[in-house]
Amino acid sequence: MSEIYKIPNHWKSVISGDILDIRDGTHDTPKYVTENGIPLITSKNLKGNKIDFEKVSFISEQDHEEISKRSKVEEGDILFAMIGTIGNPAVIKGDTNFSIKNVGLFKKNEEVMLPTFVVNFLRSSMFEKQLSERKLLKGTTQKFIPLGNLRKIIVPLPPIHEQQAIVSKIEELLSELDNGKQQLQTALQQLKVYRQSLLKWAFEGKLTHSNVKEGELPEGWERVNIIDIVEKNKHSLKAGPFGSSLKKEFYVQNGYKVYGQEQVIIDDAFFGDYYINEEKYM
């Protein structure tokens, strides 16, 4: 094994299927209903390590009961997306009245391994690297992990008290990271406001004249319309109804180069460089 599997001497390396009951949801497509239905959770409903009930399909009570014979979900179990975006593991909390399809189900076994420890391991780079190194993912256009491979995962197994200590430390440090992220976002927003204020002061003269009053300009400054100060000459092209008075037939192989938005766009087609002849230029 590579170095990512190195663990303390008093820990064990175990196979997931040897210590946990791992199942998956139905592979069939139940009949969907619109009223009085039971939510059917699929891989797309696992987002941000949570179960998203916003966009779910519903199945009949009868189909739910049939699926639950094999894959009944209970509080403390873990769901794992097996197809598409692999992972996004989530510990089931609260309401468990739903069925699963194409989703891995890790049944809790708290005497051996805490659900919160398992779910953090499934989120780790150690687990992701194992998927790649051991070629546990299948499929080309859309990746998936077979149930059999979920049962072959090599898992580090510390004593229960250490699992709890590890989980507590993870939660503490992630909380600090979240706080740091929030502070950084606040600082970035403040920086944006300061930048705008700085530019405003610059063009009000306040950066170079400390005694400028609000709404006034420094002595010698004046406000003008930009059209009154830009150079005007006979070579300026007037904009037509479609952004330019130049027509397709005006362009030649060699001549005066034309610049415009994205260079030149004619009939919704992009042309990198275009030229007009002297007659049209003058």
- The Cα–Cα gap between 74 and 24 comes to 14
Better pLDDT: 119 or 176: 119
Tell me the domains of the chain and their CATH numbers: 3-158 (3.90.220.20), 229-281 (no CATH)
Amino acid at 74: E
Sign, CA torsion 137/139/142/147: negative
Annotate 215-224 with b (16+ C-beta within 10 A) or e (fewer): eeeeeeeeee
Contact 82, 43 (CB under 8 A): yes
Span 210-238, mean pLDDT? 76
Residue 4 is encoded by which pair of tokens? 């990512």
pLDDT higher than 50, residue 233:
yes
The rounded distance, in Å, linking the Cα atoms of 16 and 157 is 10
pLDDT of residue 225: 87
Q: What is the DSSP string of 69-120?
A: HHH---TT-EEEE-BSS-EEEEE--S----EEBSEEEE--BTTTB-HHHHHH
* Mean local confidence (pLDDT), 194-212: 86
